[in-house]
Amino acid sequence: MTATAPRRSGGRAARRDARAAPLADTLRPVRPGLDGGLYHPLTEAQMHRIHAAALDALEQIGLADAPPSGVEYMTRAGATLGTDGRLRFPRALIEDTVARANRAITLHGRDPRHDLSLSGNRVHYGTAGAAVHLVDAATGEYRESTVQDLHDAARIADTLDNIHFVQRPMVCRDIPDNREMDLNTLYACCAGTTKHVGVSFTEPEFVADALEMLHLIAGGEAAWRARPFVSNSNCFVVPPMKFATESCRVMEEVIRGGMPVLLLSAGQAGATAPAPIAGAIVQAVAECLAGLVYVNAVKPGHPAIFGTWPFVSDLRTGAMSGGSGEQALLSAGCAQMHKFYGLPGGAVGGIADSKLPDMQAGWEQATSNVMAGLSGLNMVYEAAGMHASLLGFCHESLILGDDLIGQALRCVRGIEVDEDTLSLEVIREACIGGPGHYLGAGQTLARMQTDYLYPACANRASPKEWVEQGQPDLVATATARKDRVLATRAPARFAADVDAAIRARFAIHLGA
Amino acid sequence: MTATAPRRSGGRAARRDARAAPLADTLRPVRPGLDGGLYHPLTEAQMHRIHAAALDALEQIGLADAPPSGVEYMTRAGATLGTDGRLRFPRALIEDTVARANRAITLHGRDPRHDLSLSGNRVHYGTAGAAVHLVDAATGEYRESTVQDLHDAARIADTLDNIHFVQRPMVCRDIPDNREMDLNTLYACCAGTTKHVGVSFTEPEFVADALEMLHLIAGGEAAWRARPFVSNSNCFVVPPMKFATESCRVMEEVIRGGMPVLLLSAGQAGATAPAPIAGAIVQAVAECLAGLVYVNAVKPGHPAIFGTWPFVSDLRTGAMSGGSGEQALLSAGCAQMHKFYGLPGGAVGGIADSKLPDMQAGWEQATSNVMAGLSGLNMVYEAAGMHASLLGFCHESLILGDDLIGQALRCVRGIEVDEDTLSLEVIREACIGGPGHYLGAGQTLARMQTDYLYPACANRASPKEWVEQGQPDLVATATARKDRVLATRAPARFAADVDAAIRARFAIHLGA
């Protein structure tokens, strides 16, 4: 019997085949862009108070250190420059900007299948960060991360259903020249995945080169501008309440180049932001509102993600703690403020303080990723792979994060209530003259693939089966999956002539 | 300078001393009974539909297999016995029962400091279950659990701030006689902790002995009845929609003995409950409403916890999966139905399918514990230590669970928004002529202990410090803590004469 032999039609085999076939996207138990937002950490009244405090901060305190170009853009829009060098923003300017800002952003993938539609409570998870170490999951060694590590992360993420975008999670520490580093970061990410990519340029002077590379990849500037598949993460403020002069100049350049921006305010509660959670949110919201004025003054309606990313300090030491409950609340509270404004937003989730993919990492990553999803955060950044409070990135953890985020997404999908799911007739049939259980019920078989999510690495075997399996180690299971991915996926995803053109023009460190 | 030398008054030392002193309970960052309920997995309309379907199921399908005594109690209350042997419940009977049921239950601790007040959205976490294995965290070995293991679990839980009650998590497999097992379970738990204890009696005939032991411990029947510090977990139904005859007879006995009951409906979606989440909730709600009629027919107003405990099947194998996102949703949905009725309720959280306290266990336990807390579940059972889908209990995992649940409780506590937390003046002071950060601000120091929770075992060190610490293994850290607790805590907590009286009357397996 050959592989092409006709199968029996009808009957159990047909049903089994139907179940084994991949599900249409709309039938999958989880998918990108599921609607969250059923968790409300803030009341309406509390959101109004946070908004009012942010408006007061912008009007009375304002932001220092805008570059001259930014001062010109924003004063022309209605901000005022004080004799103390601080730009202040009248209430009406903020309100008008929010009203006119782009409220529904598409972050394109190089493959349209991976386009992300940011609006409402639609939730997406992905990588991000600037880790300087690659974590060896087997030995616990932290070594400097390289462009190959970054590329491998992108290749792995490309295969993971629940990693929806690939913002650069690691710095290429093996490329000392900043321009080369930025361009190789862009190459390593884009060559590894056709999902939406995020980068962050160090200096405004590097943006032109980057755009040139993107035009090559896209097949021309028009094609790039029609579907920009890379966004730039702009740390446009140095909290509290100061513009980051260089990053602002980068931002102006990428806006001109048609690249969506992430307006990233990364204060740290208790250090560069107020210690109370509400106060850290107030400051982040104020800073991002200023950023929104800036972006819309440069180019009205330019896609900008409202990136309130307040972090948490462990106040015993002043060190960052991204794995804390306080961090989960900060991001969830921010997500609700994004809804308050009706703006596409992003914040952090999934950071582990733990140095390794251990139980601590599991609970730290799950707590914030679940809370972010339930609160309807559009973009959950740093959602997988991040350890040591963002200092280390781990490929195995990224892979396990796919299972973890799958579970979070299942929670985000929530509970459907309709005549079929209420199951009154199914209960009746099971109990009155029926088998007294639901094991073979039509409804059970029908729901098996659409309602239930099955993990890839997580082990659900009984202790007996688990012993028979040889007590598989979770991290070793992830390592095996990593090795399979890296052994079988093509190292670059560009057409040969495109790749050659890029390599002719730029010093690409990854081997062809 | 001796330890009693007078300290300098005022200044940094005084502030340091003040910070080092234990916080008053009301100032602690987390505590038992924090208010949850900001996550609403079901809309009002959805809850009404679930309620209506449950009423239909009770009126039309009813429950089989009530014991004769139960039939008498419930028909006298208004239920009707069909010729098919099923008890059916008119809508008005259910509605009247809900209206008159006990809506605010106190679960007493032997020490009043540990009393739990169950009402509204007040959240408590604790152990529960019937694991048959003790998990050796170092070797991964699953061996049969013993009365000593159970006693040790109670002693450990007694020291953990975020484990609020100790329902028996393991079966004493070394005591073959069921009566002796039940009595030793009671002794091992109560001798290990002064927190509220939960047990589950196998046969109605054992209850009188148990009450005799409890009267001895309490110092007489009146003292026991005034503050019953043990509740009984009654699996009063065999889902779908059948009373568990023996367990019902146990329930009648414990009600007469003044012991609060947990009305536990433990269906498994896809096996003994409908596969859709909504349907599994409908069935659990219907069964618990029937149980509530039963309890209130025996003794109006008797404290009964509405124990909708639907579990999840992995539909590929039919095995249980307590660590899934579907499980987290089931418990959260049930919690919301408890609020719909205004009844104190409990469900499961914190179950790991993983066999060991690894990353999988961390994300599984965190996801459901966080969701349970956010949904305002009064009693989160099986919240710590549970592995292999309830088959194994692990002492180290219990200890790590304390950190994990602490984080969940921090999330439950939520975000306080008031003039001080909004921090406008603090932001102003930092930015305008201030230091440009919040590190030494009075607000930061004041919030350091009241707003921020610091884990006991979880490691927040930087990679460099972590290497200097010798790369401590998380589970080994928990083992060390376990060994300290078991080495230093007294093995029994009863007065010598009480313990002697119990030992004279009953065959106690634990050494004196």
Question: Number of folded domains in chain B?
Answer: 1
- Which of A84, A277, A363 faces B407 most closely, judged by CB atoms? A363
Establish if B452 touches chain A: CB-CB under 8 angstroms. yes
Establish if B402 touches chain A: CB-CB under 8 angstroms. no
Establish if B282 touches chain A: CB-CB under 8 angstroms. yes
For residue B12, the model assigns a pLDDT of 52
Task: Please state the rounded mean pLDDT for residues B136-143.
Answer: 96
A341-356 tens-digit pLDDT: 999 999 999 999 999 9
B88-98 tens-digit pLDDT: 999 999 999 99
User: Which value, to the nearest 10 degrees, does the dihedral of the CA atoms of residues A82, A85, A89, A90 take?
Assistant: -10
Lowest mean pLDDT segment, chosen from A9-18, A133-142, A179-188, B150-159: A9-18
Establish if A371 touches chain B: CB-CB under 8 angstroms. yes
A198, A232 contact by CB (below 8 A) = yes
Taking an 8 Å cut-off on Cβ atoms, the answer to whether B414 and A318 are in contact is: no
Tokens representing B501 are 């009286």
Taking an 8 Å cut-off on Cβ atoms, the answer to whether A314 and B454 are in contact is: yes
From A433, which residue of chain B is nearest by alpha-carbon distance? Answer: B84
Question: Which residues of B fall within a CB distance of 8 Å from A271?
Answer: 437-439
Taking an 8 Å cut-off on Cβ atoms, the answer to whether B409 and A325 are in contact is: yes
> For the whole model, what pTM was predicted?
0.95
| Domain membership flag for residue A28 | no
Looking up residue B285, the CATH number of its domain turns out to be: 3.20.20.480
Q: Is the per-residue pLDDT at B281 higher than 60?
A: yes
- What is the DSSP secondary-structure string of A280-334? HHHHHHHHHHHHHHHHHHHSTT--EEEEE--EEEETTTTEE-TTSHHHHHHHHHH
Domain that holds residue B225: 98-413
Looking at CA atoms only, how far is residue B177 from chain A in angstroms? 26
| Domain membership flag for residue A181 | yes
* B86, B268, B359: best to mutate for the A interface, most A CBs within 10 A: B359
Looking at CA atoms only, how far is residue B51 from chain A in angstroms? 10
A378-418 tens-digit pLDDT: 999 999 999 999 999 999 999 999 999 999 999 999 999 99
- Which of A142, A422, A458 faces B53 most closely, judged by CB atoms? A422
Question: Which residues of B fall within a CB distance of 8 Å from A410?
Answer: 324-326, 329
Looking at CA atoms only, how far is residue B440 from chain A in angstroms? 8
Establish if B49 touches chain A: CB-CB under 8 angstroms. yes
From B281, which residue of chain A is nearest by alpha-carbon distance? Answer: A422
Question: Which residues of B fall within a CB distance of 8 Å from A452?
Answer: 270, 275, 312, 314-315, 324, 326
Instruction: State the complex-level ipTM.
Output: 0.95
Q: Which residues of A181-199 are buried (b: 16+ CB within 10 A; e: fewer)?
A: bbbbbbbbbbbbbbbbbbb
- State the Cα–Cα distance between residues B405 and B31, nearest whole angstrom: 11
Taking an 8 Å cut-off on Cβ atoms, the answer to whether A423 and B278 are in contact is: yes
- Local structure of B135: helix, strand or coil: strand
| Domain membership flag for residue B475 | no
Higher pLDDT, residue A373 or B319 = A373
Q: Taking a contact as any Cβ pair under 8 Å apart, which residues of chain B between 335 and 354 contact chain A? A: 353-354
B177-232 tens-digit pLDDT: 999 999 999 999 999 999 999 999 999 999 999 999 999 999 999 999 999 999 99
- What is the DSSP secondary-structure string of A187-238? HHHHTT-SSEEEE--SSGGGHHHHHHHHHHHHTSHHHHHHS--EEEEE--B-
- Which of A42, A319, A325 faces B410 most closely, judged by CB atoms? A325
| Domain membership flag for residue B106 | yes
Question: Which residues of B fall within a CB distance of 8 Å from A53?
Answer: 422-424
Looking at CA atoms only, how far is residue B100 from chain A in angstroms? 27
Q: Is the per-residue pLDDT at B13 higher than 80?
A: no
User: Which value, to the nearest 10 degrees, does the dihedral of the CA atoms of residues B358, B361, B367, B372 take?
Assistant: -130
The DSSP bridge partners found for residue B232 are B199, B261
- Which of A360, A438, A463 faces B391 most closely, judged by CB atoms? A463
* A412, A415, A420, A466: best to mutate for the B interface, most B CBs within 10 A: A415
Task: Please state the rounded mean pLDDT for residues B398-408.
Answer: 98
A434-489 tens-digit pLDDT: 999 999 999 999 999 899 999 999 999 999 999 999 999 999 999 999 999 999 86
A14-69 tens-digit pLDDT: 445 544 556 777 789 999 999 999 999 999 999 999 999 999 999 999 999 999 99
Q: Is the per-residue pLDDT at B9 higher than 80?
A: no
B336-393 tens-digit pLDDT: 999 999 999 999 999 999 999 999 999 999 999 999 999 999 999 999 999 999 999 9
Question: Which residues of B fall within a CB distance of 8 Å from A389?
Answer: 460, 462
| Domain membership flag for residue A304 | yes
Average pLDDT, chain A: 94
B221-266 tens-digit pLDDT: 999 999 999 999 999 999 999 999 999 999 999 999 999 999 999 9
Q: How confident is the model at residue A315 (pLDDT cuts 50, 70, 90)?
A: confident
| Domain membership flag for residue A282 | yes
Amino acid at B501: A
- What is the DSSP secondary-structure string of A15-69? HHHHHHSPPPGGGSS--TTEE---B-SS-HHHHHHHHHHHHHIIIII-BB---HH
Taking an 8 Å cut-off on Cβ atoms, the answer to whether B454 and A316 are in contact is: yes
Taking an 8 Å cut-off on Cβ atoms, the answer to whether B363 and A471 are in contact is: no
Q: How confident is the model at residue A95 (pLDDT cuts 50, 70, 90)?
A: very high
- State the Cα–Cα distance between residues A430 and A108, nearest whole angstrom: 48
A393, A419 contact by CB (below 8 A) = no
Establish if A437 touches chain B: CB-CB under 8 angstroms. yes
For residue A3, the model assigns a pLDDT of 38
Question: Which residues of B fall within a CB distance of 8 Å from A356?
Answer: 474
Question: Which residues of B fall within a CB distance of 8 Å from A467?
Answer: 142
| Domain membership flag for residue B134 | yes
Q: Taking a contact as any Cβ pair under 8 Å apart, which residues of chain A between 22 and 41 contact chain B? A: 38-41
Taking an 8 Å cut-off on Cβ atoms, the answer to whether B325 and A406 are in contact is: yes
Looking at CA atoms only, how far is residue B104 from chain A in angstroms? 25
- Which of B279, B312, B359 faces A423 most closely, judged by CB atoms? B279
Establish if B48 touches chain A: CB-CB under 8 angstroms. no
| Domain membership flag for residue A207 | yes
Cis peptide before A176 (omega within 30 of 0): no
A481-508 tens-digit pLDDT: 999 999 986 666 899 999 999 999 999 9
Average pLDDT, chain B: 94
For residue A27, the model assigns a pLDDT of 81
Task: Please state the rounded mean pLDDT for residues B35-57.
Answer: 98
Q: Is the per-residue pLDDT at B5 higher than 50?
A: no
Q: Is the per-residue pLDDT at A1 higher than 90?
A: no
Tokens representing A104 are 């529904």
Tokens representing A326 are 């306080």
